[in-house]
């Protein structure tokens, strides 16, 4: 049987698995994620897992490599992207004020050009070719990619195709068209999606080239696939042209992996990593998708992806005392003290000195360190930020030695917000070390960090426990409560459309009481909320918390084998899926117009138009699936007619959507 290699880059760890389609997971390995150069963490995980190849099997015989990545999601969330030029055909300038387009583009150039089409697919104005040509020549030297969005291009892409051809003739820069990414109406959101896609191309190119280089070094010539946001796979070359489709790749892969590892079809899946908890649903064995488009970093795209609810709660979330909410965990990720001293052993001496000191000291048990190289060069920093950045040149620095004034604190906070610097402090991972539930980093650092935390000022009515052990137990209890909250919040949002901010005081009280581990037993009322779906828990930290979480949610818990590498398993367990939709409209009575990927075609009979549309959609979907790397392709056909029925029974045809889905397993390299 073929051997497959699955990879996943997470916030804390990069995972690798060897996978046999008949036997399942053969071996797993982890390496710390290196955000300044993802290839380093990937190499560590690959080296670790390839040591466990079956006897007689060489790395060159691996038949498929597939990876899930948070690169696209994180780049959008952190507003890190390459400079682009957006060309809008037939748009009104007011379109920039909709869908957050103006804010998303920032200072990137936007060119408004005459052209575009009407809802019927007819041309609303001739394309201003000369303006397009001048824009390309002017901006090509200053941008990394071009994005094109034409008004009603999903009804007729002719102008987008013409501009794309001009860009390819005049430059060597990547170019993305709106009609290539979605078939849905909503011009401003389509423009936003195509702009985000163009920005991501250079970053995904860097990652894929790095992984390709690692594979070449090991003699692996297998196809390289990337997980899309809906859980299906695409070939690396397709991912390079449409990187926006990889947003929410990590949560999607975790769902596919959870399905494969647990065998469950109808469950709620909670994926707890180092940074976040991602919660989503499996129905009939398939991830539930957000048909309205994935929301990432506050931007609602037109990319169909898993309907995931993400919360800043993970093993590396910051333990803190808030003036309003008191003792809590998250949402910010920090470096656990146990990990910091594992990587930088000299920091343990600093912690010991702080513990031994009787001096009044701010920021006990907290450090700052660089997370990745500057993204803009030193000129992108203010003088104050540059001083803080330079102070961190040789490694971690205690905040007590770094922050001498409110101004310095503000400069540090700005560097943290940009993702250039990260804080180290007490986390649930440290609490697990203190309690002996985790032992892979430095336990002494975690124990000292807990004792130092107890010396902090008291806020929000929080009363410090007696010692570090008691504090660690309190941290675990807080993670259990907050996890229960976010799971119930997701369930209520899915079932009743009630989001957490709209619970009100009564809703919060009822949830708190239900999760209170019997604290309301002597009260006048008893509150018990039950999660009816089984709960599948995956991710490295879940073993420390989820037995108690499931107990308080009164539901069945499933922690499948290899739950800590579910994303990497999902990367190779998924299949390839491509969907093409052809719309049929009636621009005039008796004329049925098919809006095709390359133009228009009219018919006088609806069934003839539908048959033609189905054939075109199947051909296009099959070609896309093959390009994405599929073999043994199968097809599923759908048709949905919109008909308006007037009083008296008269029926008026509005439009029809003819959809064809092509699906298959990735083609494997021959061993």
pLDDT category of residue 576 using cuts at 50, 70 and 90: confident
Residues 329-355: tens digit of each pLDDT: 988 889 999 999 999 999 999 999 999
pLDDT score recorded for residue 151: 93
Interval 431-440 mean pLDDT: 94
Query: What mean pLDDT do residues 178-194 have?
Result: 86
Write down the pLDDT at residue 671: 54
Q: Which backbone phi and psi does 316 adopt, to 5 degrees?
A: -110, 20
Q: Is the pLDDT of residue 153 over 70?
A: yes
Mean pLDDT of 98-117: 87
What local confidence, expressed as pLDDT, does residue 399 receive?
Answer: 96
Q: What is the mean pLDDT of residues 403-414?
A: 92
pLDDT at site 104: 81
> Could you tell me the pLDDT band of residue 124, with boundaries at 50, 70 and 90?
very high
Higher pLDDT, 240 or 476: 476
Residue carrying structure tokens 């399942």: 24
CA–CA gap between residue 348 and residue 19 (Å, rounded) = 39
Give residue 452's pLDDT band: very low, low, confident or very high (50, 70, 90). very high
Residue 503: pLDDT above 80? no
Sign for the CA dihedral angle at 53, 55, 57, 58 comes to positive
Q: Are the C-beta atoms of 578 and 625 separated by less than 8 Å?
A: yes
Res 646: pLDDT: 76
Q: Say if residue 460's pLDDT is above 80.
A: no
In this prediction, residues 511-524 reach a mean pLDDT of: 70
Q: Which band of pLDDT confidence, cut at 50, 70 and 90, is reported for residue 670?
A: low
Q: Name the residue with higher pLDDT: 505 or 478.
A: 478
Q: What's the pLDDT at 647?
A: 77
* Distance separating alpha carbons of residues 349 and 409, to the nearest angstrom: 24
Model confidence at 108, in pLDDT bands (50, 70, 90)? confident
| 529-541 average pLDDT score | 92
Closest CA to 426 of 402, 452, 403: 452
The pLDDT of 190-218, averaged and rounded, is: 86
Of 436, 68, 452, 8, the closest CA to residue 229 belongs to: 68
Distance between CA 333 and CA 646 in Å, rounded? 57
- pLDDT at position 521: 56
What pLDDT, on the 0 to 100 scale, is given for residue 128? 95
The answer to pTM > 0.95 is: no
pLDDT of residue 545: 94
How many degrees, rounded to 5, is the angle at CA 81 between CA 7 and CA 540? 30
DSSP state at residue 18: E
Percent of the chain with pLDDT over 90: 50
Residue, of 301 and 502, whose pLDDT is higher = 301
Helix (H) or strand (E) holding 321: strand 317-322
Residue 1 has pLDDT above 70, yes or no: no
Q: For residue 243, what pLDDT is reported?
A: 83
Does the structure show a pLDDT above 90 at 244? no
Is residue 498's pLDDT more than 60? yes
Residue 204: pLDDT band with limits 50, 70, 90: confident
pLDDT at 421 over 80: yes
pLDDT tens column, 80-105: 667 889 999 999 988 888 877 888 88
**In the prediction, which pLDDT does 308 show?**
85
User: How many percent of the chain have pLDDT more than 70?
Assistant: 95
pLDDT over 70 (residue 501): no
Q: What pLDDT, on the 0 to 100 scale, is given for residue 297?
A: 66
**Which of 240-254, 277-291, 545-559, 643-657 is most confident?**
545-559
Supply φ then ψ for residue 314, to 5 degrees: -150, 180
Measure the CA dihedral 292/293/294/295, to 10°.
-70
Neighbouring C-beta atoms of residue 196, cutoff 10 Å: 28
What confidence category does residue 630 fall into, taking pLDDT thresholds of 50, 70 and 90?
confident
Position 378 confidence tier, pLDDT thresholds 50, 70, 90: low
Does pLDDT of 375 surpass 60? no
For residue 335, the model assigns a pLDDT of: 94
């Amino acid at each position: 049987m073929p051997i497959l290699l699955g990879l996943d880059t997470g916030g804390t760890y990069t995972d690798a698995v060897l996978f046999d389609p008949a036997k399942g997971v053969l071996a797993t390995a982890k390496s710390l994620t290196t955000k300044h150069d993802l290839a380093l963490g990937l190499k560590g995980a690959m080296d670790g897992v390839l040591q466990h190849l079956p006897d007689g099997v060489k790395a060159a015989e691996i038949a498929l490599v597939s990876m899930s990545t948070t690169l696209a999601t994180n780049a959008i969330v952190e507003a890190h992207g390459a400079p682009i030029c957006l060309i809008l055909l037939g748009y009104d300038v007011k379109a920039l004020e909709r869908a957050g387009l103006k804010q998303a583009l920032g200072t990137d150039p936007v060119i408004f050009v005459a052209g575009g089409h009407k809802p019927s697919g007819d041309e609303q104005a001739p394309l201003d070719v000369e303006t397009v040509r001048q824009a390309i020549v002017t901006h090509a030297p200053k941008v990394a990619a071009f994005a094109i969005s034409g008004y009603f291009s999903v009804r007729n892409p002719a102008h987008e195709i013409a501009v794309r051809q001009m860009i390819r003739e005049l430059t060597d820069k990547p170019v993305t068209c709106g009609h290539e990414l979605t078939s849905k109406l909503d011009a401003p959101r389509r423009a936003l999606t195509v702009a985000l896609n163009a920005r991501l191309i250079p970053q995904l190119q860097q990652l894929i080239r790095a992984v390709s280089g690692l594979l070449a070094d090991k003699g692996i010539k297998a196809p390289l696939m990337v997980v899309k946001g809906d859980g299906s796979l695409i070939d690396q070359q397709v991912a390079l042209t449409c990187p926006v489709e990889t947003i929410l790749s990590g949560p999607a892969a975790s769902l596919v992996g959870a399905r494969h590892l647990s065998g469950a079809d109808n469950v709620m899946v909670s994926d707890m990593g180092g940074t976040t908890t991602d919660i989503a649903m499996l129905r009939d064995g398939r991830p539930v998708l957000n048909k309205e488009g994935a929301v990432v970093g506050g931007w609602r795209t037109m990319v169909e992806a898993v309907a995931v609810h993400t919360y800043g709660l993970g093993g590396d979330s910051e333990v803190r005392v808030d003036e309003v909410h008191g003792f809590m965990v998250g949402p910010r990720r920090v470096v656990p003290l146990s990990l910091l001293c594992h990587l930088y052993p000299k920091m343990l001496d600093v912690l010991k000195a702080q513990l031994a000191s009787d001096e009044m000291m701010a920021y006990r048990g907290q450090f700052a360190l660089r997370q990745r190289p500057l993204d803009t060069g030193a000129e992108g920093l203010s003088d104050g930020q540059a001083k803080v950045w330079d102070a961190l040149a040789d490694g971690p620095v205690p905040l007590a030695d770094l922050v001498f004034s409110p101004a310095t604190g503000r400069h540090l906070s700005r560097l943290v917000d940009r993702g250039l610097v990260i804080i180290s402090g007490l986390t649930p991972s440290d609490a697990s070390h203190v309690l002996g539930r985790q032992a892979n980093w430095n336990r002494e650092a975690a124990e000292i960090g807990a004792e130092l935390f107890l010396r902090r000022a008291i806020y929000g009515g929080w009363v410090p426990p007696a010692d570090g052990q008691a504090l660690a137990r309190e941290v675990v209890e807080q993670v259990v409560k907050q996890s229960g909250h976010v799971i119930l919040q997701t369930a209520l949002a899915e079932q009743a459309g009630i989001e957490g901010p709209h619970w009100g005081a009564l809703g919060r009280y009822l949830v708190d009481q239900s999760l209170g581990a019997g604290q309301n037993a002597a009260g006048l009322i008893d509150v018990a909320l039950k999660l009816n779906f089984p709960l599948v828990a995956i991710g490295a930290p879940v073993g420390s918390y989820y037995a108690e979480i499931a107990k308080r949610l009164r539901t069945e818990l499933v922690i499948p084998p290899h739950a800590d590498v579910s994303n990497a398993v999902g990367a190779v367990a998924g299949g390839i899926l491509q969907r093409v939709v052809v719309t049929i409209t009636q621009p005039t009575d008796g004329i049925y117009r098919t809006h095709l990927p390359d133009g228009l075609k009219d018919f006088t009979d609806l069934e003839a138009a539908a048959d033609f549309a189905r054939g075109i959609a199947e051909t296009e979907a099959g070609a896309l699936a093959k390009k994405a790397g599929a073999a043994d392709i199968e097809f599923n056909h759908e048709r949905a007619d919109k008909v308006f029925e007037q009083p008296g029974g008269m029926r008026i045809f509005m439009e029809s959507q003819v959809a064809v889905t092509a699906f298959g397993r990735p083609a494997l390299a021959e061993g």
